[in-house]
């Protein structure tokens, strides 16, 4: 199993930026960022293929503001978050899957992002 470790969370004012990092212990087909706010369901934020190119997908709520990127050599994925909004406050989780199609089955412990109004 791939072990994931996130970092980079913190407190930022609305409109500000923050960058998250996730380092995996092994390779994956795809990696993604999810987030979960208190009392809400976990939602996908962005995903990227680690192999077979660098296809990306973003949640409508973050399109144009967040950028997901990767470093295959380091088995890492990053999330540059710009123009942060208070509703972006959540625990952000890094996830990975080894299959081309399917659910993300490997998760990090999460990193807290708090966006003040």
- Cα separation values, 106 from 8, 27, 83, 85, 93, Å: 19, 12, 28, 27, 10
Q: Are 95 and 33 in contact (CB under 8 A)?
A: yes
Q: Which residues pair with 105 in a beta bridge?
A: none
- pLDDT tens sequence across 7-30: 999 999 999 999 999 999 999 999
**CA nearest 3: which of 26, 20, 21, 19?**
26
Q: Are 24 and 31 in contact (CB under 8 A)?
A: yes
Q: Which band of pLDDT confidence, cut at 50, 70 and 90, is reported for residue 51?
A: confident
């Amino acid at each position: 199993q791939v072990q994931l470790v996130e970092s980079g969370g913190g407190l930022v004012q609305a409109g500000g930026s923050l960058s998250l990092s996730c380092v995996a212990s092994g390779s994956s087909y795809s990696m993604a960022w999810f987030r979960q706010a208190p009392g809400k369901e976990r939602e996908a934020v962005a995903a990227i293929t680690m192999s077979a190119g660098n296809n990306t997908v973003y949640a409508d709520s973050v399109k144009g503001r967040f950028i997901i990127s990767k470093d295959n050599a380091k088995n890492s994925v990053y999330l540059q978050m710009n123009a942060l909004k208070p509703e972006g406050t959540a625990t952000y989780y890094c996830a990975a899957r080894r299959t081309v199609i399917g659910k993300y089955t490997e998760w990090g412990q999460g990193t807290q992002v708090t966006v003040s109004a």
